[in-house]
Homo-oligomer: A and B are copies of this chain.
Amino acid sequence: MVFEEKTMKSDKLYEGKLLNLRVDTVEIPDKKYSKREIVEHPGGVAVIPVTDDNSIILVKQYRKAVERFLLEVPAGKLELNEEPRETAVRELKEETGYEAKKLEYLLEFYTSPGFSNEKIYLFLATDLVEGEPTPDVGEFIETVKYNIEDLIKMVERGEITDSKTIIGINFAKKYIDKKQ
């Protein structure tokens, strides 16, 4: 049997710029209690930009949380009152310079539902028009372009290690296979 966990108490421990932390005390069956550590996150979008010649535009950036450079699909967090589609258009332009004549919503998913409510909305961007990136202040990003077949191999070899990017590459591959 599975049960919903009723909140008996909720303690806010931190309210930050990007995220908040709270600890909920929940009731579990047999009238017992347990603690749940929860990271509140506004959610974000990720965009898979597929070019006419079946390449994908990725961005390379330093990720302090993991202390390394990662290759990722363009992405960013939802700003206040922003629709995911608007965020996708804005982040694609800011991070890569590209604009998409077609932007298709694919799916949404939780990155780490064991401790965070972060949800990512994934979009497929096609019919791309190249332009100049306009990164945020303090954001240092490099745009790179890879053929889809190379990217599939890079995932298998462990050279792409970001979950939303792995999901995005799989969907791009399906889209490209169907198109051909």
A binding-site residues for B, Cβ under 8 Å: 1-5, 7, 13-14, 16-19, 21, 23-24, 26, 28-29, 32, 34-39, 41, 44, 60-67, 69-70, 72, 75, 77, 107-120, 138, 140-142, 155-156, 158, 160-164, 166-167, 170
Are A109 and B163 touching (Cβ within 8 A)?
Answer: yes
Kindly report which residue of chain B lies nearest to residue A158, judged by CB atoms: B107
Are B161 and A115 touching (Cβ within 8 A)?
Answer: no
**Assembled-state Cα–Cα distance A110/B119 (Å):** 15
**Assembled-state Cα–Cα distance A36/B170 (Å):** 30
Are B2 and A61 touching (Cβ within 8 A)?
Answer: yes
**Assembled-state Cα–Cα distance A23/B63 (Å):** 14
Could you say which residues of chain B place their CB within 8 Å of the CB of A166?
Answer: 107, 109, 167
Are A39 and B26 touching (Cβ within 8 A)?
Answer: no
Assess A70 versus B113: contact at CB under 8 Å? Given A14-B14, A161-B108. Answer: yes
Assess A19 versus B2: contact at CB under 8 Å? Given A64-B24, A110-B161, A163-B110. Answer: no
Could you say which residues of chain B place their CB within 8 Å of the CB of A69?
Answer: 2, 4
Could you say which residues of chain B place their CB within 8 Å of the CB of A112?
Answer: 41, 111-112, 116, 118, 163
